[in-house]
Chains A and B, each alone.
Chain A
Amino acid sequence: MTLDQVAVGREVKIVKVGGEGELRCRLLDMGLIPKTIVRVQKVAPMGDPIEIHLRGYELTIRKEDAGKIEVVS
């Protein structure tokens, strides 16, 4: 499963972070690395991007990019 498919309010664990270049570095720097627990907090009113909660803070990423993060529940 990828992070963009996770229902709002659910907690999942990151397995693998895909993407490339700047985007990927950015995701890793913000703490989205394997084994991190992430909760999907909210979807923006227009359906994209999403808000996630991890490591005690809130982050927003686009669904397209969330699709590159593999997770398990």
Chain B
Amino acid sequence: MRYALVGNQNCGKTTLFNQLTGSNQHVGNFPGVTVDSKIGEIRGERGDCVVDLPGIYSIRPYTNEELVTRRFILKEHPDGIINIVDATNIERNLYLTLQLLEMHIPMVLALNMMDEVRGNGGTIDIGKMEEALGIPVVAISAVKNEGIEDLIHAVREVSQRRIYPKVMDFCEKGAVHRCIHAVSHQVEDHAERIGISPRFAATKIVEGDRNIIEHLQLSENELDLMEHSIVEMERDSEMDRNAALADMRYAFIERVCGQAVIKCRESREHRRSVQIDSVLTGKYLAIPSFLLIMLLVFWLTFGVIGTFLSDLLSMGIDALSAAVEQALVEYGINPVVKSLVIDGIFTGVGSVLSFLPIIVVLFFFLSILEDSGYMARIAFVMDRPLRKIGLSGKSFVAMLIGFGCSVPAVMATRTLSSERDKKMTILLIPFISCSAKIPIYALFAAAFFRQYKALVMMGLYVLGILVGILCAVILNKTTFHGKPMPFVMELPNYRFPSAKSVLLLMWDKAKDFVQRAFTVIFIATLIIWFLQSFDSRMNVVTDSGDSLLAMIGKLIAPAFMPLGFGDWRVATALISGFSAKEAVVSTLGVLTGTSMSRLGETLGQIFTPLTAASYLVFTLLYTPCVAAVATIRREMGSLWKTVGIVCMQCGVAWIAAFLVYNAGKLFG
């Protein structure tokens, strides 16, 4: 048996999924999908699995989440549906339920947060609810793990015995009723041929859902006939088609709730939320408290816990690497193989792996912000400035994380529901200067702009943001022209995040990153090691100036002449910066043959303050590191688009550095 878990956003769906499956879950691979949908085996029920589909409010063809959910239900034919609804907000939640009922698949309704309803003096009559909807209804509390056994039992029962929903007709006699029945009669054969319910097909035709209409392969004649019934309905009901259907559904829901639900007084949870919001989204306190929270998250991640764990991990890797090195030396292994293992694998993968604690810690905080409901508030507060560049408040958090590291920032775009917003945000993240570039800035600022150190650092950050905004405006007018996603977003009550969900999310992200570290990033670091260690005749180099990497550096160095820094060592450092941005500094050290402490002086012979500024601008804007590129590749789902982004970044960097250098020359 395979069940689909469907529900609104913020209704506790993931918590229920985690209760149902434990840690027995993995990300499902459904074609053409970049939105997560996880599969897990139900605990104690061998062979029964449940698929956690993304949270949606309606079965429309607009957002990624909606497309994934409906494609799964229509194409993968689950044996049963578990529809989870938030009992404290039942009216709006049932709107999706009615659309699921129309799909005519065995289904169970899970009334989540019933404890909260009861705790505030409300109640829901389960029997009346079952009768009105024609499906089994089970009261549960996902957080407290109550009612889960009953739910599993109920969904098994309906799925095994193929018990279909008994109610599908929500329309009172009248214009809408007539229209839907006429259309569903006409579409019956087509719907049955492609294996969907005629009633569902009919309402989707009335709503004008292109996707379904194309799929049904209706003739011109049939479409005309249906259009005729719909126009008639619009005239008789004095509403257009979409309003008429929404009205029909909500009217039915209001009738059901009128019979079965005794609404609670204003709940404690809601009162608490309003109180918290008087600070967190208050007129004067919203932005300061937002900055404070983000500062705290950053400080803890990059300053305290993350750094501590990162240092610990890199110490561990260093110790392991030293032990392996010694063992290899004692064994008397070929020095090239030793170099491959130590300088290639350990150094390369190790440097990337040392990001891991930062990513895990950052996602720990992010999932708390998300699950508690604060993320929605950030979008609410920050929507206005972002709208100017064609994005919505939801993109803000991902961009902000970019100041720490582009990798988790790109990973965080997964919560954006519009493909357009997601792609555009991913494109902009690399312009936000990540923390790995700080060593480069610090080195150059100390060597060339001693008096204006802070100003130069600040200037670089601001420049990155400005160039990003400029690109966004241009992209918004060209490639991403078209309507941005409408910003209609629920502000859920604040809730305590469940420890289990937070831990599972951290585990997921860590696994994801480690997998990548050992595949794409592993190969990339090997290539860089190879280029660094061999010359064109495949001999091991003794002077790093003879390596293949240096050759490439010499080859591309002329391209940087117009920017003021044609030196091959500088160009080579930029290439090695692709493995990790910190590597720019260490490569400069190796190639100029100076120790870190004297590197500033040596650079003084290669750069003037103006060319240094040009170089800094270039490093600020050029291609993100290999880990970030691998993440972008994964989230974009396309190699060519990723290559496109890398080329665009390099192009923009070149132009910006060119402008800086030449403007500087002009003004002396």
Contact = CB atoms under 8 A, between A and B. Distances in A.
Given A29-B58, A29-B95, A34-B247, A46 B384 contact: yes
A57 B89 contact: yes
A48 B57 contact: no
Interface string B219-252: 0000000000000000000010011001100100
Interface string B76-103: 0000000000001111100100000000
Contact of B486 (A23, A46, A51): A23
**What size tier do the contact residues of chain A reach?**
20 to 34
B475 to A, nearest CB: 20
A7 interface: no
Interface in A15-49: 17, 21-31, 33-34, 36, 42-49
B488 A59 contact: yes
A8 B277 CA distance: 15
B385 A22 contact: no
A49 B382 CA distance: 9
A28 B243 contact: yes
Nearest to A31: B92
Given A24-B242, A65-B486, A59 B58 contact: no
B246 A61 contact: no
Given A22-B483, A31-B250, A45 B287 contact: yes
B199 interface: no
A72 to B, nearest CB: 17
B92 A45 contact: no
Contacts of A29: 57-58, 60, 95, 246
A36 B249 CA distance: 13
B385 A49 contact: no
A49 B490 CA distance: 12
B242 A28 contact: yes
Given A30-B57, A45-B381, A55-B91, A25 B287 contact: no
A22 B384 contact: no
Contacts of A48: 383-384
A61 to B, nearest CB: 5
B283 interface: yes
Given A23-B486, A44-B281, A49 B60 contact: no
**What size tier do the contact residues of chain B reach?**
35 or more
Interface in B615-660: none
B242 A44 contact: no
Interface string B142-165: 000000000000000000000000
Interface string B474-488: 000000000101111
Given A22-B483, A25-B58, A42 B277 contact: yes
A25 B492 CA distance: 21
Contacts of A31: 91-92, 95, 250
Interface string A47-68: 1110100011111111001000
A58 B384 contact: no
A51 B364 CA distance: 28
B70 interface: no
Contacts of A62: 383, 387, 487
Contacts of A49: 380, 383-384, 487
A56 B89 CA distance: 6
B30 interface: no
Contacts of B60: 22, 25, 29
B281 A30 contact: no
B490 A45 contact: no
Given A57-B490, A58-B491, A33 B250 contact: yes
A54 B486 CA distance: 19
A51 B256 CA distance: 27
Contacts of B487: 49, 60-62, 65
B437 interface: no
B284 interface: yes
Given A31-B250, A45-B284, A49-B380, A60 B91 contact: no
B282 interface: yes
Nearest to A30: B488
B286 A45 contact: yes
Nearest to A58: B491
B263 interface: yes
Nearest to A47: B384
Contacts of A43: 283
B281 A22 contact: no
B381 A44 contact: yes
B102 to A, nearest CB: 14
B283 A45 contact: yes
B666 interface: no
Interface string B371-392: 0000010011101110100000
A62 B387 CA distance: 10
B92 A60 contact: no
A52 to B, nearest CB: 10
Nearest to A27: B488
Nearest to A19: B486
B458 interface: no
A28 B62 CA distance: 14
A22 B381 contact: no
Given A42-B281, A59-B489, 20 more contacts: A23-B488, A26-B486, A28-B242, A28-B243, A29-B57, A44-B384, A45-B284, A46-B384, A47-B384, A48-B384, A49-B384, A51-B491, A55-B89, A56-B89, A56-B263, A58-B490, A59-B490, A59-B491, A60-B379, A62-B387
29 contacts: A22-B485, A26-B486, A29-B57, A29-B60, A30-B57, A30-B488, A30-B490, A31-B91, A31-B92, A33-B247, A43-B283, A45-B281, A45-B283, A45-B286, A45-B381, A47-B384, A48-B384, A51-B491, A55-B89, A55-B91, A55-B92, A57-B89, A59-B488, A59-B489, A60-B383, A60-B488, A62-B387, A62-B487, A65-B486
Interface of B: 57-58, 60, 62, 88-92, 95, 207, 239, 242-243, 246-247, 250, 263, 273, 277, 281-284, 286-287, 376, 379-381, 383-385, 387, 483, 485-492
- Nearest 3 CB-CB pairs, A to B? A28-B246, A23-B486, A29-B58
